[in-house]
Every structure is written in C-alpha cells, then in structure tokens.
Structure 1
Amino acid sequence: MKIVGDEVQRRLGDYIDTSAGVIVGNILPEYDNSVIATVKGTNTPFAKIPTTFVNIDLSENKFEGEIPDDFGELHGLIGLNLSHNRLVGNIPSSLGNLTNLESLDLSSNMLTGDIPTELANLNFLEVLNLSQNQLVGPIPRGKQFDTFSNNSYEGNMGLCGLPLSVQCNNNVPLQQYPPSSEAEDKFGFGWKPVAIGYACGMVLGIGLGFCVFSIGKPQWLVIMFGGKRIKRRRRGNRRARTT
C-alpha cells in the first residue's frame, strides 16, 4: 500500500487546522476513545485525545513508495512518525514547512538522497530519527541539528559531518569503511589472529630457509613435496669399479 498525498489531505484536512494547529470541524473538542501514541520516541497512553494533540503515527506498517510532498501542507503537525515501513526516495524538502513539528521519525525505511537543508528551519524539533536508511551527503548544521546525537543518523553509511566522526570532502564521506567491530562480526575474526598467524608463518619460513642453506635439502622435505630421494653412492664401491 502506498501513502497517497491527496488521500492524506482529504482525510486529515477536515480535522487539522493547517494554520492554527488545533482540531476543528465537526469533531468534538475531545474524543472519548483512548490511544497509545509514540511521541518523541516514547510510547505515551492517552485516556482521551487532547485537542492540542496533532500527531500522525503510521509506523510499523507495510507502506511503500515515496513520502508525499503534501505532508508539508499540514502545518499544525506536532509529531510525524513513518518509521518501520518500506518507504523509498528522497525526504521531501516540504517537511521544512512544518514549523510546529517537535518530533520526526523516518527510521528503518529505504530512503535515499541527502537530508534537506530545509529541515534546519524546524526550530521546535526536539527528536529526530533518520537511522537505518540509505541517506548520503553532509548533515545540515545550525539550530536544532546541532543538538542531535549519532543515534539520529546511525545505519546511514553515506552520511558525513558532525556529530558523526566521518568528515566530508566535497560533500562526500572521506571513508565509508565499517568499524572494526562490524568487520569482526561479519567475518568472525579480527586483525589480531591474522597478525599472529602471519608472524608465526614468517618465523617458520625463515627457519626452513636457514636449514636449507646450512645443511642442504632435508630428505623429508623433498619427499613431502613430491621429489625423488637421491641415493648417495658410497666411496668404497666407486673405488672397486675403478680397480
């Protein structure tokens, strides 16, 4: 199933005042239904939905396709959670119009491209989670983006810039190698066993080479590698033949 922008506006336009950020229309000031919503990364239960609660949580579904630009028209949104879906494409720059947004979670999708610089205009953004995607390029700087930690971007090997340790070179990460701990988990061993094996092999090779140059070819080594054993003639037999 895809998230269609027109459908978002049609279903939510009657309930969300895009200018004031409060619930309007034919809906009562408070719902009688209870709800548990993920707000700023925490599951928060509501016995009744408050009138100032303007939040969209479509996480852990099977939504596919790109994020519609129409989300940027819902100016009253305080929280937007589209995590753990199958969303692809770029992050819409129109999300920078959500000036009241306090929480944005787009993690665990397949989003590509860079992080729009327009998101740096979200002055009230307290929680940002873009982890486990395929984003690339530099992380925007300034305002709220200077307060987010590495956890907001982990799993995006193509990102660079603060707060990550990977520096940017012409908006491209200088290195995209996985950390040593990830390499050890992937291959089952680290650099220490490799170094020990290399050192032992070098010592053994030097020892064999010294034996060859000092005492000649060892017969057992020649036989091991398929050579033929050379029979040495006794000096006594050679003398008997000459006489």
Structure 2
Amino acid sequence: MNHLSGLIPSTFSKNCSLISINLGNNKFHGRLPKSLINCRSLRGLDIGNNRIQDEFPFWMERLRKLRVLVLRSNKFDGNMSLPSRTKFPFPMLQVLDISHNAFVGSLPERYFKNFRAMIEEKQRDDTKSFHDKEKNNDDYYYLSYVDMIVTLKGQDMLLNRLLDTFTTIDLSSNSFSGTIPPSIGNLKILKYLNLTHNSLTGHIPSSLGNLSELESLDLSTNKLDGEIPSELTRLTFLAKLNLSMNNLVGQIPRSNQFSTFENDSYVGNLRLCGLPLTRKCNEDDGKSMQPAKEEGDDEYEFIDGFGWRCVVMGYGSGFIVGIGIGYMIIRSGRPRWLVEFFFGVGYKYKTKKRRNRAASTHRVT
C-alpha cells in the first residue's frame, strides 16, 4: 500500500529463506520474476492490485509449501488449463485469488483435483500450547500473522490472521468459459467460492452439494442454465448465495439455508419461480411459471392467457378485416339499412346516380 513502481527485482537467490512477500496495492509492472522459485520455503505471495502483465505462473506449482497466492487486479492473461509436468500442483494452497484479470478458456480442473489442503482435513493436535506450535511449526507462525485483502461474501476484507482452516478460491471477473467441472465438488473443506462475472455455461453441477464447509457461493453474471440442484440444500453452513443474472429455470429449493435467501440471490433469471420471487410455479411440475396474483387484481387473468403479442396480432388482423368489409359495404351498398344508418337515407341511389353521370361524361368524351 505504497506508491512503489517499476519492475519487481529478480534477485531472489538460491536457497532463499523468504517465507512471505506482500507487494500488493502498488504500481509494479512487467512480469513476475521466476527467480521466486528459489524461495522453497515461501508460504505466501500477494502482488494484488498492481500492473503486472504476464501469464499464469505455472512454475510456482513446484513451491510445495505455498499456501497463499494472490494475483488479483493485474493484467494476467492466457489459458490456465494448459498441460503441466507437475504431478501434484500446489498441494498446500489454501487461498487462490486471481480475480479481475483476463484469463480465458475453461476453468482449471486439474487444480480442483489436486488442491490437497482443500480436499483433506488436517489432523490437529489441540493440546499443544501456542508457543510450542510457534517453536516447532513455522507454518503455524505464518498462518497466524498475515495481512491480506480478500473478497468474502461480496465485500473486500483485510485479514491479518489466517487460520489453517481458512480456504477460498476467487476466479471472478475474468473471461473463463465452458462448464463448471463436477470435480470442484472434491474441495470439501472450501469455505468461499467466487466465479462471478465470467462466461460460464451449462448446468450448476450437483457435486457442489459436497462442499460441506462452504459459507459463500457466488455464480452470478454468467450464462448458466438448467435448474438449481436440490443437492445445494445440503450446504448447511451457506450464509451467502448469489445466482443472479443467469438463465436458470424451474422452482427454487426452499429447505434448510435456502429458506433464508432473499430476491437478490436470484434476480435476472426470468424463468425461475417460487419463493422468495413473486412468480408462482405450476403446482404439477414446478416448471411452468405464472406471475403472482394479488388480491383484487384481475388483470393477471388476461396477461396469463394471451400476452401482449397475441393482443397486437388480434387487433391488427381485426383492423385489416374491418377495412376490407367496410370497403365492400360501401361499394355494394348492402345491407341497405347499415349503409343508410352511417351515410344517410338515399345513399345507394345517390351513388348510383353519380356513377351514371360519370359514365355519360366518359362516352361523350
């Protein structure tokens, strides 16, 4: 949080003992120095909110002790799903924040399958005192004291204490496309997942219901379709849900935590129905929707049955037919009573007389 600029120095020598580096919120540009790979003890790297222009640092997969990787709000681009020679990438990673960059292609499924720290719960010995842990486990020291800005439940928050149970993945505001891989359901210890503002398509995978520790899920502003999986109701710790601005359909689940979410979790999905929305579902299958009808409001009966397009087509067709019939009545003068009602008595006789006069004039000419 200074005004440092220029390139990040590339002088990280072999056997570098650096544990944590935070250069966030400055004006650094250029590329991320690959000499950081010499820092085998590195637990955390935060270069968020700079002007770094580079591809995703696949070479950092070999930093086996890395727990925090924050690249947010830079100019990183490229495809994160490219093949890699690292068999078990980022085995200890707990925090991955690459939001607000320009990554493209599909979501990095290979990482979802190998983030061991988000898949397997660690065995803890709670009988040790704080000083014992600090003395015998340098990981604990790093995890206890860290300054890091992350987006949690839609808000930026400063964390200066990172517990070993804290896990988050933020891939928001990029250009990821394709479907959400079911393998993301392997991350059973994940607490925060943010995939908003991408171009993701397909259905919400039911495997997300396996994320039993999840507290916040944001899939908004994508192109997701299909129904909301009922398996998501198993997420009993879920406090924040945002599925807005997609193409979801069908009835919204209402059991467990889903009974606590308001309208803003679902806005922009025109074919969703059921509470908390005012659009009611068909009781037979929950898929057909109709606007909620308020007491004393009979206009919905008309709207449900016809719609404005049908009304316009009906008026237009009736107008054209009416003009045609009126023209034929005027030309033929029949029925006489109707013609005399609109044009006066003797209209047919007067019209015939005018026609005869016009015909005589034509013969004389």
TM-score by length of 2: 0.46
* Contact 2:182/2:205 (<8 A) preserved: yes
SS at match of 2:250: strand
CA positional deviation for 1:144: 0.9
2:224 alignment partner, SS class:
strand
**Residues 86 and 230 from structure 1, CA distance in 2 versus in 1: closer, same or farther, beyond 3 angstroms?**
same
Where relative contact order (Cα < 8 A, 6+ residues apart) is larger, the structure is 1
- CA offset at residue 46 of structure 1? 1.4
What CA distance in whole angstroms lies between the structure 1 residues aligned with 2:346 and 2:193? 79
Offset of residue 16 of structure 1: 3.2
Kindly provide the amino acid, as one letter, of the partner of residue 267 in structure 2. E
Partner of 2:204: 91
Residues 8-27 of structure 1: pairs in structure 2 closer than 5 A: 8-10=112-114, 12-13=115-116, 15-16=117-118, 18-19=120-121
Q: 3-state DSSP class of the match of 1:16?
A: helix
Q: What code does the residue aligned with 2:108 have?
A: V
Q: Does 1:7 align with 2:120?
A: no
Q: Which residue of 2 aligns with 1:78?
A: 191
The answer to whether the 8 A contact 1:34-1:47 is kept is yes
Q: 1:40 to 1:47 in 2, by over 3 A?
A: closer
Q: Could you list the per-position Cα deviations for residues 184-225 of structure 1 after superposition, in whole angstroms to 9, with x for gaps in the alignment? A: xxxxxx9xxx9xxx9xx9xxx9xxx754245748x9xx9xxx
Asked whether the 8 Å contact 2:168–2:191 carries over to 1, the reply is yes
How many equivalent residue pairs?
A: 199
Which residue of structure 2 aligns with residue 212 of structure 1?
Answer: 343
Distance between the aligned counterparts of 1:21 and 1:78, measured in 2? Answer: 18
Whole-angstrom distance in 1 between the partners of 2:122 and 2:276: 34
1:44 alignment partner AA: D
As a proportion of its length, which structure holds more strand? Answer: 2
Structure 1, unaligned stretches of length 5 or more? 181-189, 223-228, 234-243
2-side partners of 1:170 and 1:32: how far apart? 51
Unaligned runs of 5+ in 2: 1-104, 125-136, 292-298, 300-307, 324-338, 359-365
Q: How does 1:45-124 map to 2 (within 5 A)?
A: 45-48=157-160, 50-51=162-163, 52-124=165-237
CA contact (8 A) 2:172 2:196 kept: yes
Contact 1:159/1:173 (CA < 8 Å) preserved in 2? no
Distance in 2 between residues matched to 1:161 and 1:127, nearest whole Å: 19
Percent of pairs with identical residues: 42
Shift of 1:113: 1.3
Q: Tell me, what secondary structure is at the counterpart of 2:258?
A: helix
What SS is found at the alignment partner of 1:63?
A: strand
The one-letter code matched in structure 1 to 2:120 is: T
